[in-house]
Amino acid sequence: MFDYKTMFSKFTGSSQPAGVPAQRMMTFLEAVQTCLEKYFCFKGRASRSEYWWWFLAYGLPHILLFYCVHFAFSIPVESALFFFLYTGLYVVCGAGTIPFVAVSVRRLHDTGLSGWWLLFLYLPGILSYALLLPWLGLIGLGLNIYFQSRPSQNRANTYGDVPCTASSQPDASGQRMMSFTESVETCLKKCCSFKGRASRAEYWWWALAYKMTLSLFMYCSLYCEESSLYSKNTSMIIFLMCMAVACVGLLPDLAVSVRRLHDTGRSGWWLLACYVPFFLAGLLMSVVNDTWGVAVSSFMIVYFLTRPSEKRANKYGDVPCQEASTDPLKKLA
């Protein structure tokens, strides 16, 4: 019988094997500080949390500035504000490029691959820009997500020791990082569960899978609609598939968001507060620009859902993904 879980876990990783040093998830501030301290460091290894937190810190300001410059404002090119925003865009992009490439190389080292694989990962994107073929850009994006999301090698390799092991962090809470497969499976199983707690890894792996799938479907739908190579029926079919994915994933997304707030000691009703600016902007579209509501809501969601777990049991449940609760030897002790 075909076992899809076994096959999928080979690509995305599974729970930590027995006898292997437990890894902990690096915090957002730790990841940013580490990547800045290792600005020109292309040696050693970087965990998934280090890479993806830096990706968020580097990519989000870049995207927001690009959005403000090109879409949110109707600013003439010759104005001082346009020059200021465009300069800020180039500064953010330029200042973060070297540490981003460095942590990408270290992330490949962590999976046992040479840093030169990065050229292979960026080749489709370069060709997409040069040949004006957006499909190559999607291929490059998929390759980067796959290779940079692979689990760490469970032992020291030619590039260094296992990063972020709990044993090397005396103040670590004993949590392990949930894998991509575990996160998606857990969120689907708990699609109607608004009780309990969810770690950052559980929420953000799910957000990556859900939001990226929606974005790809939406991008393909818009591309087919504007391209003369495809009929409008093709665009409509892809759009309906996008809506189907959105509807299927909406309830698990809300549930894991509430559990993530519980993990930080907050009530799930805080999720409504995060979306208040978005709803107000929709109601006041004739008065204010609705893009500001989207931006404020996005910042609030990122802030509250990236807060660290409370290190002890709270009124919503025990600490999620504790090694003590998953290690059979510790249970017998």
Question: What would the mean pLDDT of 130-151 be, rounded to a whole number?
Answer: 80
pLDDT above 60: residue 169: no
DSSP per position, 51-114: HHHHHHHHHHHHHHHHHIIIII----TTSHHHHHHHHHHHHHHHHHHHHHHHHHHHHHHHTT--
Task: Work out the percent of the chain whose per-residue pLDDT is above 70.
Answer: 72
**SS3 call for 161:** coil
pLDDT score for 239 = 81
pLDDT above 70: residue 258: yes
Q: What is the amino acid identity at position 143?
A: L
Band of the pLDDT at 197, cuts 50, 70, 90?
very high
Distance CA 34, CA 26 (A): 10
Q: Convert the pLDDT of each residue in 4-46 to its tens digit.
A: 455 444 444 444 454 555 667 788 888 888 888 888 888 899 9
pLDDT score for 278 = 77
Q: Convert the pLDDT of each residue in 200-211 to its tens digit.
A: 888 988 888 888
pLDDT score for 36 = 85
Distance CA 283, CA 47 (A): 43
Residue pair 6/145 in contact by the 8 Å Cβ criterion: no
Show the DSSP H helices in 227-269 as ranges: 232-263
pLDDT above 90: residue 231: no
Please give the structure tokens belonging to residue 326.
């998953």
pLDDT above 70: residue 323: no
**SS3 call for 44:** coil
Distance CA 197, CA 310 (A): 10
pLDDT above 60: residue 332: no
Residue 150: beta bridge partners? none
Q: Is the pLDDT higher at 174 or at 181?
A: 181
Distance CA 177, CA 209 (A): 16
Cα 131 off chain centre by: 29
Question: What would the mean pLDDT of 307-328 be, rounded to a whole number?
Answer: 74
Q: From the CB of residue 333, how many other CB atoms can be counted at a distance below 10 Å?
A: 7
